[in-house]
């Protein structure tokens, strides 16, 4: 399975901060936002990753992440000339995907919780159909929302409905088989003029091939697309890290614990990083 991080969009809700800084480069407590979705893909066992962004922002991501070699993975880059919806990323990535299945994650999403790694790695084995992750929210009208039938099965997904049929939102993490780019090419733009990922998901529902994985109380899904949610995410990460002494979304640690790199490589990375972050990596190498 291959991975896609969509780090595009206009980020108008975070203006004027994003006038000079890409949203996915903004700090979420002690790390750039992009570290968190990248770490999710790495924890799923995915080592071949495509990052999609605008021509303006791609050089910044390349400067930050490089080829991924230092992490034992491969990171490629592709341009999104104009943001036209999440599903557009599947079309942009068609050649990269090739004959593989794919995991798509949004660049402003953070996932945390018990048993998450096992869930990710299980779904990374997907060969047919699709898996989307649901999360209960108090403001479902901001998201794609699950609609259930009388038996409690997913009947459809509605994009940003004025009157949501449930409180279960579709998060920004999707596993798809190799048909996803073909489906994305066939869908029509919504009233917003975008290729909605909800349209792709509904096509899988029609085929009987979509599974919904609902994240319960033991999990956190943070969408950092607004000022409030960005602050909330930083406070959440800070609280967990200070309490446990363990970092969330530390891509160097993930690479080491997933055995993508060895202890010597971790130590070399630590030497290049000053202050507390480097000390944290050095302590890991002494475990």
Supply the pLDDT for residue 46.
Answer: 98
Instruction: Judge whether residue 275 has pLDDT over 90.
Output: no
In a domain, residue 283? The reply is no
pLDDT digits (tens, 9 = 90+) for 14-65: 777 777 788 899 999 999 999 999 999 999 999 999 999 999 999 999 999 9
In a domain, residue 240? The reply is yes
- Interval 67-94 mean pLDDT: 96
* Residue 123 near residue 213, CB atoms below 8 Å: yes
Q: Report the alpha-carbon distance of residue 219 to residue 222 in Å, rounded.
A: 10
**Tally of domains within the chain:** 1
In a domain, residue 96? The reply is yes
Supply the pLDDT for residue 136.
Answer: 96
Supply the pLDDT for residue 43.
Answer: 98
* Band of pLDDT at residue 10, cut at 50, 70 and 90: low
pLDDT digits (tens, 9 = 90+) for 178-218: 999 999 999 999 988 899 999 999 999 999 999 999 999 89
Mean pLDDT taken over the chain: 94
CATH code, domain with 91: 3.90.550.10
Q: Report the alpha-carbon distance of residue 106 to residue 145 in Å, rounded.
A: 17
* Band of pLDDT at residue 114, cut at 50, 70 and 90: confident
Q: Report the alpha-carbon distance of residue 252 to residue 262 in Å, rounded.
A: 11
**C-alpha closest to that of 127 among 106, 102, 104:** 102
In a domain, residue 81? The reply is yes
From the CB of residue 214, how many other CB atoms can be counted at a distance below 10 Å? 14
The alpha carbon torsion through 197, 215, 31, 85 (nearest 10 deg) reads 10
Domain coverage including residue 43: 2-131+170-249
From the CB of residue 122, how many other CB atoms can be counted at a distance below 10 Å? 14
Instruction: Judge whether residue 11 has pLDDT over 70.
Output: no
Instruction: Judge whether residue 226 has pLDDT over 90.
Output: no
Q: Report the alpha-carbon distance of residue 171 to residue 144 in Å, rounded.
A: 8
In a domain, residue 42? The reply is yes
Instruction: Judge whether residue 264 has pLDDT over 70.
Output: yes
**Which segment, 23-32, 125-134, 149-158, is predicted with the most confidence on average?**
125-134
Q: How far, CA to CA in Å, does 141 sit from each of 23, 30, 39, 99, 170? A: 22, 30, 28, 35, 11
In a domain, residue 59? The reply is yes
In a domain, residue 256? The reply is no
Whether the full predicted model's pTM is greater than 0.85, yes or no, is yes
Instruction: Judge whether residue 13 has pLDDT over 80.
Output: no
Phi and psi, residue 80, nearest 5°: -105, 100
Whose tokens are 């909330």? That residue is 232
Beta carbons within 8 Å of 25's beta carbon, 6+ residues apart: 32, 33, 34, 57, 60, 61, 64
Supply the pLDDT for residue 134.
Answer: 96
Q: 229 is written with which tokens? A: 């949610």
Tell me the Cα Rg of the chain. 18
In a domain, residue 175? The reply is yes
Percent pLDDT > 70 in the chain is 99
């Amino acid at each position: 399975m291959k991975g896609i991080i969509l780090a595009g969009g206009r980020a108008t809700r975070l203006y004027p901060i994003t006038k000079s800084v890409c949203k996915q480069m903004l700090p979420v407590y002690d790390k750039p936002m992009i570290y968190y979705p990248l770490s999710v893909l790495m924890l799923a066992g995915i080592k071949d990753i495509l990052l999609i962004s605008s021509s303006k922002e791609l050089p910044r991501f390349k400067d930050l992440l490089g080829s991924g070699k230092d992490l034992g993975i491969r990171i490629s880059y592709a341009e999104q000339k104009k943001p036209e919806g999440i599903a557009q990323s599947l079309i942009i990535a068609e050649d990269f995907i090739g004959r593989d299945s794919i995991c798509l994650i949004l660049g402003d999403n953070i996932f945390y919780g018990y048993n998450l790694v096992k869930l990710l790695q299980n779904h990374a084995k997907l060969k047919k159909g699709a898996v989307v992750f649901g999360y209960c929210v108090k403001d479902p009208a901001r998201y794609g929302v699950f609609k259930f039938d009388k038996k409690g099965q997913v009947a459809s997904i509605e994009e940003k409905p004025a009157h949501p049929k449930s409180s279960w939102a579709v998060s920004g993490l999707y596993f798809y088989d190799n048909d996803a780019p073909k489906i994305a090419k066939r869908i029509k733009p919504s009233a917003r003029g975008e290729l909605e990922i909800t349209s792709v998901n509904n096509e899988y529902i029609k085929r009987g091939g979509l599974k919904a994985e609902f994240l319960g109380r033991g999990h956190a899904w943070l969408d950092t697309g607004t000022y409030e949610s960005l602050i909330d995410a930083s406070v959440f990460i800070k609280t967990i890290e200070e309490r446990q002494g363990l970092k969330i979304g530390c891509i160097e640690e993930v690479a080491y614990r997933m055995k993508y790199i060895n202890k010597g490589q971790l130590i070399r990375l630590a030497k290049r990083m000053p202050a507390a972050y480097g000390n944290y990596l050095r302590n890991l190498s002494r475990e």
